[in-house]
């Protein structure tokens, strides 16, 4: 059975409200009561759709990154399969960096909310698997699993905000790319 029309409408309204609250007041400003009120929706609806605060933020993140995930999984090179490892890695970090730079507050709120089970988040697992695969391909001798975690650890919302300035909005991305190249080695 497909999603009912009103359900889809509400889903959208809730996500939009969340985004609005994130933008105007930071992560702590996003209480589920406020989200529901701003979305013109009952609190129960938010929970029925998203399960929890973490689920709500995850869904928003999911939405922001779906495009990248699809491009990575089955898009054309250099994001998708086929390109050399270095190019693919840089393209991926460029894409994810762009998302992080545009959604730093959301990233931060999501990390805060997920707390313990960050590594169970499907998005995280996808990014990690992709990164680890690339690293393993480029440096079979390295501890790809850890290095992938380490690279993803730099996508901390607060860190992104801390190094991103209006004058140089891509500073973070370039820095991560350089770090990744160092990790991959210069050979």
Partner DNA sequence: GGTTAAACGAGACGGTACGTCCGGTCTTTTA
Partner DNA sequence: TAAAAGACCGGACGTACCGTCTCGTTTAACC
Residue numbers at the binding site for DNA (CB under 7 A): 1-2, 4-7, 10-11, 28, 30-34, 36, 40-45, 47-49, 51-54
- Of residues 13 and 45, the one with the C-beta less far from a copy of itself: 45
Closest CA to 59 of 23, 93, 18, 26: 18
| 10 and 45 Cβ atoms separated by less than 8 Å | yes
Q: Report the residue number, 26 or 122, with the smaller CB distance to a copy of itself.
A: 26
Q: Which does 20 bind (CB under 5 to 8 A by kind): DNA, a copy of itself, none?
A: none
Per the structure block, which two tokens stand in for 167? 């004058």
Q: Which is nearer to a copy of itself, 51 or 76 (CB)?
A: 51
Q: Are 157 and 104 in contact (CB under 8 A)?
A: yes
Positions in 20-79 near a copy of itself (CB under 8 A): 26-28
Residue 77 in contact with residue 71, Cβ under 8 Å? Answer: no
H-state helical runs in 75-156:
85-102, 104-114, 122-138, 144-153
| Sign of torsion over alpha carbons 138, 169, 54, 69 | negative
| Range 126-165, binding a copy of itself (CB under 8 A) | 142-143, 145-147, 149-150, 153-154, 156, 158-159, 162-163
- For binding to a copy of itself (CB under 8 A), which residues are involved? 26-28, 108, 112, 115-116, 118-119, 142-143, 145-147, 149-150, 153-154, 156, 158-159, 162-163, 172, 175-176, 178-179, 182-183, 185-186
């Amino acid at each position: 059975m497909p999603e009912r029309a009103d359900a889809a409408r509400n889903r959208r309204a809730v996500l939009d409200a969340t985004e609005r609250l994130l933008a105007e007041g930071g992560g702590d400003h996003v209480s589920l009561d406020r989200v529901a009120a701003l979305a013109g929706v009952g609190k129960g609806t938010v929970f029925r759709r998203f399960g929890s605060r973490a689920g709500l933020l995850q869904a928003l993140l999911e939405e922001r990154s779906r495009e990248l995930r699809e491009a990575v999984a089955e898009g054309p090179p250099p994001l998708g399969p086929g390109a050399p490892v270095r190019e693919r890695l840089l393209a991926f970090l460029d894409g994810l960096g762009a998302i992080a730079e545009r959604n730093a507050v959301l990233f931060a709120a999501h990390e805060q909310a997920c707390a313990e089970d960050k590594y169970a988040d499907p998005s995280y697992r996808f990014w990690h698997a992709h990164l680890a695969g690339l690293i393993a391909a480029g440096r079979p001798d390295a501890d790809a699993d850890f290095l992938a975690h380490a690279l993803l650890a730099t996508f901390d919302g607060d860190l992104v905000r801390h190094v991103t300035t209006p004058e140089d909005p891509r500073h973070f991305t370039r820095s991560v790319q350089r770090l990744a190249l160092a990790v991959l080695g210069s050979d």
